[in-house]
Structure 1
Amino acid sequence: MSAERLRLMAVHAHPDDESSKGAATTAMYAAQGVDVLVVTCTGGERGDVLNTKYGEVAGGVEGMRAVRREEMAAAAAALGIRQHWLGFVDSGLPEGDPLPPLPEGCFALVPLEEASAPLVELMREFRPHVVTTYDPTGGYPHPDHVMCHRVAFEAFAAAGDPDRYVGRGEPWAPLKLYYNHSFSLARFRTLHDAIVAAHGESPFGDWIDSRGAMEIPERPVTTRIPCSEFFAARDDALRAHATQIDPDGFFFAVPRDVELEVWRTEEYELAESRVPTTLPEDDLFAGVRGTELAR
């Protein structure tokens, strides 16, 4: 029996995360014929307008939710992937000292099994071979990013267990779980040094200093995906999130010729594998591709 179509599920906290974290990877695999499904845990409805050129969004939380749904549809089209809303409400990013309480009913406050149940059901329906999400820190200390990790990790562990989440579909055990590392200090230091060498000045010095001050641990990279041919699709997807992304701002501050010269990959950490594989890898489906997948 021939191998079935490969399937990749990328679990993210908000609309726009799929475009800033692993976007070129998902676009590449989709172009290769892999069935790619981006899962968005929340509607991003408590996000601020971060692009000063955009203007205001009317209608409060509901208005922002509607705008961000339109942006997400445009980003998904740019990447050539499918997308699914998990249906939870954005927790917002609390600020202040002490931090204010999170809003009642938000994603980060939902009990873990309740929050994980719809993702378990979706995993059992979609049957991904590979799942990507954030590491236990969330990549940075946003409550929805930390919760996204917890929910994705729980679903990966539980989806294949017939005694858990009974009534949520036929068990399916994904084969590999990865954490994406798009905002690693190693990447930005390399880009910073290359920009300084080429242009004499870099916009990333302050970001590197502030990131270092957060004391977010640098986690190991096991897998580098050569996907630079799809950086343009990534950029199109970023621009689709017009409330969040300034086309003249942070995400476009790296000269693309410099990026192509010094950093042509997207990085991941293999968190768990249920198939044999050899590290380092250059393919999320290493150990999966070419095997009999009729399961």
Structure 2
Amino acid sequence: MTVVTMLPDRRLLLVHAHPDDESIGTGSTMAHYAANGAHVTLVTCTLGEEGEIHEPALAQLAAAEADQLGGYRIAELAAACAALGVSDHRFLGGAGRYRDSGMMGLATNEHPRAFWQADLDEAAGHLVEIMREVRPQVLITYDPNGFYGHPDHIQAHRVAMRAVELAAAEGCAPLKVYWTAMPLSVLEAGMTHFAESSDNPFAGIKDIADLPFGTPDAQIAARIDGTDQHTAKEAAMRAHATQIPATSWLYSIAGNFGGEFMGVEFFTLAVGEKGPGAGPYGWEDDLFAGLPEETAPDRSPVGTVSDRSSVGAASDRSSVGEASDRSSVGAASDRSPVGAAPDRSSVAAAGLR
């Protein structure tokens, strides 16, 4: 017997590179929308096989040893999603289809299954399949430099933006696409506050311009206040114990700033029209702001539990059109770095790998 699945009116799709990226970068946003009734779908592009291991007892799971870290991180990701209240998680192309490429410039970038080597249209095709099924109005991914220059983050951006183009031709593309961002004012305030702290995550960084990320406040489109979900975000981060040690500066900052640090996340708008906002730059406080009511589904069945591949097209809706920056997508054969590879010391200081 076929069981019909009905999806909520608001549907949010996130495309992340590795397990833990979703929790660190967008955890409060995911938990906020899930708690308020939206359907939140997370797509993770790799298993994170090349990650560092901060659990000594699990050190031999590393890629250079037993190479079992990826499988272990599947369980960590499942626990993180549960903490965020997200039940719809997929690996792009299926678990293990694409491998963690490691940091830019390493030999692991050339692994035949490295996500950095993925055929762009093939990988985007996997994402379009999910878009056909879920029909998200809003998508979140990274900017063209993958926020801080990691090849898998850059590739996740390329794949997501190419999928938007392909899905637009079918009328199932999201109406708004956001990129994760960090306002320069927030970074400057952080550097000032922690200048004399023993837990200074900015130690060794002399100028804000030395960081591989940071967005002028005027370019920020949305500020999502999920402080009511900051404990969910912290719980999700703690689920990634192999990647984020209990002594991480992230938790030290959380202790000082509490819900404000854990609960507020920022985004730039890459595709679609900005909705009503507030403040000097008109920042949105809702990623669905400005979307007309008629973009909501007609509540007709959009999928089945028994056979996801049999999902037909939902009611036709207008195309979102081309992505705002095709040049950022890049050809599938282009493996050159988008921007200079980040200084690893500055990346480590920011808590990124």
**Residue of 20, 26, 39 corresponding to 1:16:** 20
Matched, 1:72 2:77: yes
Residue identity in the other structure for 1:282:
D
Determine if contact 2:98/2:114 at 8 Å carries over to the other structure.
Answer: yes
* Letter matched to residue 43 of structure 1: L
Render the CA deviation track for 1:25-58: whole Å, top value 9, x for unaligned: 1101000000001100111112221x25554143
The 1:56–1:261 alpha-carbon spacing in structure 2 relative to 1, beyond 3 Å, is closer
* Corresponding position of 2:68: 63
- Which consecutive unaligned segments of at least 5 residues does structure 2 have? 1-6, 277-281, 298-314, 316-353
CA change 1:153–1:262 in 2 (3 A) is closer
Alpha-carbon spacing, 1:227–1:276, altered in 2? closer, same or farther (3 Å): closer
Distance 1:200 1:107 in 2: 38
**Is the CA contact 1:132–1:179 (under 8 Å) kept in the aligned structure 2?**
yes
Structure 2 residue 183 is the aligned partner of structure 1 residue 175: no
**2:123 equivalent in structure 1:** 115
Distance 2:274 2:244 in 1: 39
Aligned CA RMSD, in angstroms, stands at 2.7
1:41 corresponds to 2:45: yes
User: In structure 2, how many angstroms separate the alpha carbons of the residues matched to 1:111 and 1:188?
Assistant: 35
* Unmatched segments (≥5 aa) in structure 1: 163-170
Count residues with an aligned counterpart: 278
SS at match of 2:253: coil
Once the two structures are TM-superposed, the CA of residue 19 in structure 1 deviates from its matched residue by 0.5
Distance across 1 between alignment mates of 2:45 and 2:240: 16
* Equivalent in the alignment of 2:202: 205
Match in the other structure for 1:88: 98
In the alignment, is residue 29 of structure 1 matched against residue 33 of structure 2? yes
- 1:237-276 mapped onto 2 (5 Å cutoff): 237-260=236-259, 265-273=264-272
| Counterpart code for 1:173 | A
Amino acid at match of 1:115: A
1:202-226 C-alpha deviation (Å, 9 max, x unpaired): 5123264487325546352111011
Distance (Å, rounded) in 2 between the aligned partners of 1:45 and 1:105: 11
1:21 match: secondary structure: helix
Matches within 5 A, 1:104-143: 104-143=112-151
- Is 1:218 the counterpart of 2:215? The answer is yes
Partner amino acid, structure 1, of 2:275: T
Aligned pair in 2 of structure 1 residues 252, 189: CA closer, same or farther (>3 Å)?
farther
1:284 partner letter: L
**Structure 2 partner of 1:286:** 289
By how many angstroms is 1:280 displaced? 2.4
- Say if 2:108 and 2:114, in contact at 8 Å, map to a contact too: no
Q: Deviations over 1:74-99 (max 9, x none)?
A: 00000011211113211111457xx7
Instruction: Give, in whole Å, the separation in 2 of the partners of 1:207 and 1:139.
Output: 20
Task: Summarize deviations over 1:115-145 as a string: whole Å, max 9, x none.
Answer: 2110011111111010000000100111100
Offset at residue 256 of structure 1 (A): 3.2
Q: CA deviation at 1:193?
A: 2.8
Tell whether 2:192 aligns with 1:193. yes
Q: Residue in 2 aligned with 1:227?
A: 226
Contact 1:187 1:263 in 2 (8 A): no
Aligned partner of residue 36 in structure 1, secondary structure: strand
State the SS of the aligned residue for 2:113: coil
The corresponding residue for 1:168 is none
Return the offset for 1:289.
6.5
CA distance in 2, matches of 1:207, 1:128: 41
Q: One-letter code of the match for 2:225? A: P
Structure 2 CA distance for aligned equivalents of residues 101 and 42 of structure 1: 13
